[in-house]
């Protein structure tokens, strides 16, 4: 199967956050839940004098994390602006042996499934990690339909499952 796509800046930001293991929506939801539980605890009959301190520490940690995520976003946006290859049309195809990726005007790269270290995805992109410094992203919107996305997922996950054994 073959696809052709072009990244947008949000794809690059999403891929970078996912590669680092950062899931902003999940983290924000967990911080909100933690603060809500602590606030409820502070007005309950089982409260103790350290609850306000815990609320403050949780809120500080959340603010620190938001700043970190903002810095990762800014760096990814900067990389997108500076690197013309990220803005070129990209052709990707796959079969039972691996994935082929070729940005326009560059050499084709063949990545056998056996060279992939990990497969990750979020609501926007699929990441194929060869090692800590080599990451390939494919936007989910590039897939023409859900069955094609499911077929790709099945191949990538099969390889990922073999790695985890």
Q: How confident is the model at residue 165 (pLDDT cuts 50, 70, 90)?
A: very low
Cα 70-76-79 angle, rounded to 5 deg:
145
132 or 58, greater pLDDT: 58
Share of the chain above pLDDT 90, in %: 50
pLDDT of residue 18: 93
- In 10 A of CB 20, how many CB atoms? 12
Domain spanning 2-7+89-164, CATH architecture: Roll (2.30)
48 or 62, greater pLDDT: 62
Secondary structure letter of residue 45 according to DSSP: T
pLDDT digits (tens, 9 = 90+) for 27-42: 888 888 888 888 887 7
Q: Give mean pLDDT, residues 84-101.
A: 93
- H-state helical runs in the chain: 9-19, 24-42, 51-82, 146-164
Secondary structure letter of residue 148 according to DSSP: H
Q: What are phi and psi of 109, to 5 degrees?
A: -120, 125
Secondary structure letter of residue 110 according to DSSP: E
pLDDT digits (tens, 9 = 90+) for 104-122: 999 999 999 888 888 899 9
Considering only CA atoms, which of 85, 82, 98, 76 is closest in space to residue 12?
Answer: 76
Mean residue pLDDT of the chain comes to 88
Q: How confident is the model at residue 160 (pLDDT cuts 50, 70, 90)?
A: low
CA distances to 12, 18, 143, 150 from 89, in Å:
14, 22, 15, 23
Q: How confident is the model at residue 5 (pLDDT cuts 50, 70, 90)?
A: very high
Residue that has been written with the tokens 């497969």 in this structure: 119
Q: From CA 119, how far away is CA 110, in angstroms rounded?
A: 16
Q: Give mean pLDDT, residues 43-71.
A: 82
Strands across the sheet with 89-94, in order?
2-6, 89-94, 98-103, 109-112
pLDDT of residue 104: 92
pLDDT of residue 47: 67
- In 10 A of CB 74, how many CB atoms? 11
């Amino acid at each position: 199967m073959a696809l052709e796509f072009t990244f947008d800046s949000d794809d690059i930001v999403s891929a970078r956050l996912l590669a680092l293991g950062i899931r902003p929506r999940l983290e924000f939801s967990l911080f909100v839940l933690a603060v809500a539980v602590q606030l409820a605890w502070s007005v309950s009959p089982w409260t103790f004098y350290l609850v306000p301190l815990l609320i403050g520490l949780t809120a500080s940690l959340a603010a620190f994390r938001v700043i970190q995520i903002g810095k990762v976003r800014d760096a990814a946006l900067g990389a997108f602006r500076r690197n013309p290859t990220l803005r070129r049309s990209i052709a990707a195809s796959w079969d039972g042996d691996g994935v082929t990726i070729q940005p326009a005007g560059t050499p084709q790269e063949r990545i056998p499934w056996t060279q992939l270290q990990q497969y990750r995805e979020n609501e926007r992109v699929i990441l194929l990690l060869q090692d800590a410094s080599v990451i390939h992203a494919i936007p989910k919107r590039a897939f023409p339909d859900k069955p094609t996305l499911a077929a790709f997922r099945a191949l990538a996950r099969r390889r990922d499952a073999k790695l985890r054994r």
